[in-house]
Each structure stands twice: as structure tokens, then as C-alpha cells.
Structure 1
Amino acid sequence: MLSANARREEIYHLAVTTGLASVEELSAKFEVTASTIRRDLALLNNQGRLARTYGGAMALGAHPEASLRQRTGEAFEQKQAIARWAASVIQPGESILLDAGSTAGALAHELRGFGRLSITTPGINTLQELADCEGIEVDCLGGRLRGVSQSFVGPLAEAALERMSFDRVFLGADAVSAEDGICEADHAQTRLKELMARRGRSVYVLADSSKLGLRPFHAWVQLPLPWTLVTDDGADPRQVQAFQSRGVTVEIVAASAR
């Protein structure tokens, strides 16, 4: 059994690396009562390390990159619509490279029951989504695990890509701009995306409209043409025009489409 101080340090570490920490999850993990966890969170809040939220807390000193858990609930309908469009262009028997991230996870869900496909991914959420799907062959790009994004990056993943090619590559992004391409929080991620894009016959960037034109981080990858941006109908027409003027194909999907 951990001491109270050790438990609080573990709680803070979990909040930093995974985003939100809920009372219920922490209570189960540390085998203490919910009241004990609430007291821990209150103390960490008073120390200025965590901010209280409904049902839990999040780290004040965390990296500005949102965790996969946080991103999954953001722009939910837009990501679902983008995923449905992406699934509609995939043909049975194709070899697909599917990035990590919440939108890629939504696409993986759309592909459940699809039938005959070969899918390679560095994303743990995609692996979990497709693990029990008959007819879908799943390969994992292994490497160093990035806890915040729940994905594998690094030399091992990059080396594996050199031995593969794909009919379609679907990339996610923290942000995307017409001038500089895909923006990510980590240079290892942009390096991997750069290599992923080189291995596909057709390349798609799946990015909801809130991500267009933003520059939240300083790691970038410029994708060689041709590639297709798939976004939703909330996109600023000026942003869409900026991509199109640079030769990028833009597909706009209705977020309310079912």
C-alpha cells in the first residue's frame, strides 16, 4: 500500500500524462475510498498542482498538448462525419495505414465489420477498436510509447515503415495550415507522419474545422502533393481557399450527416 504522499505523487503523474483524472478511476486504481481521493485532490489543488474539475481534476503544469482522452470528446460530430467519409473511399482488400489520434479512432470504428482489409497503425486506440474484427488484418508500428497520445513513435516505427507500402494513408493532426502542413506537439510525431505520407498511393489528412490555420506547437511536416484534406462544413472558406490555391484537394463533409 502506498503512503499518502506517494499516492498523491502518482495521482499528479497520471493527471499530467493522461489528462483528466476521475475520482472513480483513481479510487479503483489505488484501492482507497472516493473520499480519500477527494482529499488528495483538494490538497494537490491547494498546492497549485491540479485544478479541480467536475468528478476529478487535471494537471495545471501539464503539457499544453491535450491527451487522447480529452480529444476524443472534442468536435465529436465533426470527427464522426469525417470518419464516415474516409471509410466510404476505402475498397475491400486494400492496405491502409491509419494514424493515431481521436479522428483515426473514429475511422477505425467505422471499419469494424468492413471485411477484408489490411490495416497498419501506431495508435493503441485503433488496435483496440479492430482487435476482434474478423477479416481485418492488423499490424502495429511499434516503438517508443507516447503516453499522452497513446501512440508509438521513434526509430523502430520508422524502420518498419521502410518495408511497407499502402493504398491509402490517413493522417491526423493537432493543427494544419496551408503554408506549413501538419503541426504536432512533438518532432518524433512529425517525422513519423512525414515517412507515413511517403509510403501511400493516396494520402488524406483528417482534420476537423477547428484545427485549420492554427499554430499551437512548433513541430511541422510539409506534405508533398498530391494530398487530400478532409474537414467539416464549419471550415472558414478563406482557409479552404488557401489550401486549394496550393494544390491541395479539399473534401468538406456535413457534420450532421448520418
Structure 2
Amino acid sequence: MPIVSKRHEEILTILGSEGIVRVQDLAQRLQVSVETVRRDLRPLADRGTILKMHGAVGLAHSGGEAPYERRMRENSKAKQKIARAMAATVRNGETIMIDTGTTTSFLARALAQHERLTIITNSTDIARTLAGRNDSKVLLAGGVVNGDSGAVLGHDAVAFVQRFHVDHAVISAGAIGIDGVMDFEPDEAVFAREVLSRGQRRVVISDLTKFTRSALVQVCDLSEVHQLFTEATPETSIAAYLADAEVQLCGLFA
């Protein structure tokens, strides 16, 4: 069955580039009412083109996120800037726990010249990047390996990181907003939540696109984050929420 309206094409373009999007946000983007968007979404859902979930929608084939390699290419310059800014605050010899994510993968690359770090992670990519570098030591969580991202997840991975307390706990995010730091997958959210709780310093690194997205699972409230590194100042409403939660914005670029 063909696409029946130009608005359908616009909806699919937005979902294709951004993953899961709230219905309310779609209505604002398309400058129509929420009820109109819901009517537009109904035939797409009936055909199996999209999935509707808790006030949000995503493409059926993507599960809300593009494959990992594609996500590594998306907004990569901003992610590299964020990673370099965060890495500059880590001193040689310190301990750092990092979860799986594209921005955290760039952080690993930015830490490659550091010396004598102890890195605890569930990311096979981060482990490969930093293992054996400049007398640094990598401790990799055990568990079930995700074939796309290389993340190690599950009960064993969570139990592993519960053994440690580190100087810096750093996580990425699927989305950031008034509901806090969010992720797309429950297992990833559980692991990220545990990582954040292990750090003397609790840091989220995320590019600005995450402030316009929606995700399904809460990782933590904003008040549980000490610092957020991003590439530019978020829009006023989000910046106000961050200020109210006493989250320090870092790594800003003109």
C-alpha cells in the first residue's frame, strides 16, 4: 500500500533520522494537532511500518535506533569535541567506568594517550581501544554480548560493576529531557544506572540531538548527574531543568 500523504513521508523521514519520537513532538514539528498526527500514524501502524509505544513512535525495522556503525557516523564531529573535552578532565592514574555508546566510544579514543588508567566497561569496542595502552588496565564485564553494539549486558555485567567505586563514572544517553536521562533498551538502562552510581564524579556525555529525542526507559533523574558534557548550550527550557537539578554544563563550544 503506497504512502497516502506528504505528511506520511515527512513522518517517516523524521523517524528514520531520529529514531523514537514522541507523538506530541511530531505534532509540533509538523504544525498540526496531536489528534491529526494520531490519525496519520494509524495506517502506518496498521501496515507495520511503524511501532506505537507509550505516547511515542518509531520505525518498525529499527527498534528506535540505527545500527551502531551508522550511529558512530551521525554527528561525529560534535561527539569527538565532547569526548576530547571530557578526556581533558581525567588525570593519569585515575579510575574510570564507562558504558557502551557512540559518544563513549569516542571518549575511549580521546583517552588513548593517557597513562596508567584503570578502565571498567561493558563495551568490547572501548576495551579493544584502550587495552594495553600506556600501562592502562581494562576490566571488561562478562555477560551476554549484543551483536550490534558489542555491549555486554545482563545480570552478570551489572553484578561485576557493583564491585567497584571509581573516580569517574561516565555514561552516554539515548535521550535527555524533563524525565531525566533515558535509554531505548531496559538492559542498557539498568547497566548505565549502575555505572553512574559507582562514581565519585557522575558524568553524562551527549550531543545536542539527544535533547530532541524521546526514549522509553529512564536511566536516572537529572538530579543524580553531576556534570553533562555537550557541544553547545541546550535550548532555554532544557537548560533551566538542568540548572534546577544542579547539573553542571561542561565542554561548551562556540
Alignment TM-score, normalising by the size of structure 1? 0.71
Name the aligned partner's letter for residue 222 of structure 1.
C
Query: Which residue of structure 2 aligns with residue 237 of structure 1?
Result: 236
Classify the secondary structure of the residue corresponding to 1:92: coil
Distance 1:63 1:83 in 2: 26
Q: How far did 1:142 drift?
A: 1.6
User: Could you list the per-position Cα deviations for residues 85-114 of structure 1 after superposition, in whole angstroms to 9, with x for gaps in the alignment?
Assistant: 111110111110011111111111111121
Query: Which residue of structure 2 aligns with residue 31 of structure 1?
Result: none
Query: Which residue of structure 1 aligns with residue 202 of structure 2?
Result: 203
Query: Which residue of structure 2 aligns with residue 127 of structure 1?
Result: 127
Where in structure 2 are the equivalents of 1:1-258 lying within 5 Å? 61-177=61-177, 179-215=178-214, 217-223=215-221, 224-233=223-232, 235-254=234-253
Gaps of at least 5 residues in structure 1 are: 1-47, 50-58
Q: How far did 1:60 drift?
A: 7.1
Distance 2:79 2:219 in 1: 22
Distance 1:227 1:233 in 2: 18
- The count of residues paired between Structure 1 and Structure 2 equals 197
Seq. identity, % = 25
User: Which is higher, the Rg of structure 1 or of structure 2?
Assistant: 1
Q: How far did 1:234 drift?
A: 5.8
Q: How far did 1:62 drift?
A: 3.4
Gaps of at least 5 residues in structure 2 are: 1-47, 50-58
Classify the secondary structure of the residue corresponding to 1:212: helix
Q: CA RMSD in A?
A: 2.1
Distance change >3 Å, CA 252–CA 235, structure 1 → 2: farther
Distance change >3 Å, CA 60–CA 188, structure 1 → 2: closer
Distance 2:98 2:224 in 1: 19
Contact 2:202 2:226 in 1 (8 A): yes
Contact 1:210 1:235 in 2 (8 A): no
Name the aligned partner's letter for residue 147 of structure 2.
G
Q: How far did 1:61 drift?
A: 2.5
Distance 1:80 1:226 in 2: 21
User: Could you list the per-position Cα deviations for residues 99-154 of structure 1 after superposition, in whole angstroms to 9, with x for gaps in the alignment?
Assistant: 11111111111111211110011112111211341311011012111223320111
